[in-house]
Homo-oligomer: A and B are copies of this chain.
Amino acid sequence: MNNRYVVIMAGGRGERFWPQSRLRRPKHLLPIVGDEPMLVQTVNRLDGLVPVENVFVVTNSEQRDAVLGTCPNLLPERVVGEPEGRDTAAAVALSALLVQRENTSAAFAMLPADHVIEDNAGFRAILDSAFEAAETQDLLVTIGIRPTEPATGYGYIQRGEPCGEPGGRTLYNAVRFVEKPDRETAESYVASGDYLWNAGMFVWRSEVILKAIASHAPDLASGINELDDAWTEEASLDEAMQSVYPSLTKISVDFAVMEKADNVAVLESAFDWDDVGEWPAIERHFPADEMGNVFRGAGLALESTGNVTYAEDGHMVALLGVDDLIVVQSPDATLVCRKDMAQGIKELTRKVVEAKDGEKLV
Chain A residues with CB under 8 Å of chain B are 19, 298, 300, 302-303, 311, 314-322, 325, 327, 329, 331-338, 340-342, 344-345, 347-348, 351-352, 355-358, 361
Contact = CB atoms under 8 A, between A and B. Distances in A.
Nearest to A315: B332
B336 A317 contact: yes
B351 A302 contact: yes
Contact of A321 (B316, B322, B333, B341): B341
B318 A357 contact: no
Contacts of A321: 337-338, 340-341, 344
5 contacts: A298-B355, A300-B358, A316-B358, A319-B337, A331-B331
Given A300-B352, A321-B338, 17 more contacts: A300-B358, A303-B341, A311-B334, A314-B332, A315-B331, A316-B333, A316-B355, A317-B333, A317-B336, A318-B334, A318-B352, A320-B335, A320-B344, A320-B345, A325-B336, A331-B331, A336-B336
A352 B316 contact: yes
A320 B351 CA distance: 11
Nearest to A350: B302
Given A320-B344, A338-B322, A357-B298, A333 B315 contact: yes
A319 B357 CA distance: 17
A38 to B, nearest CB: 23
A352 to B, nearest CB: 6
Nearest to A345: B320
8 cross-chain pairs, A with B, having the tightest CB-CB distances, nearest first: A321-B341, A321-B338, A320-B337, A316-B333, A317-B334, A320-B348, A302-B348, A319-B336
Contacts of A334: 311, 315-318, 327, 329, 334
Nearest to A330: B315
Number of copies of chain A assembled together: 2
A353 to B, nearest CB: 10
A302 B336 contact: no
A314 B356 CA distance: 11
A335 B318 contact: yes
A150 to B, nearest CB: 25
Given A303-B341, A336-B327, A19 B348 contact: no
A314 B357 CA distance: 9
Contacts of A358: 300, 316
A329 B318 CA distance: 11
B341 A298 contact: no
Contact of A318 (B19, B315, B356): B19
A127 B185 CA distance: 76
A316 B361 contact: yes
Contacts of A317: 333-334, 336
B338 A320 contact: yes
A322 B336 contact: yes
A322 B325 contact: yes
Given A325-B336, A337-B321, A347 B302 contact: yes
Tell me which of A327, A336, A357 has the highest count of chain B C-beta atoms within 10 A of its own C-beta. Answer: A336
Contacts of A337: 319-322
A318 to B, nearest CB: 5
A320 B324 CA distance: 12
Contacts of A327: 334, 336
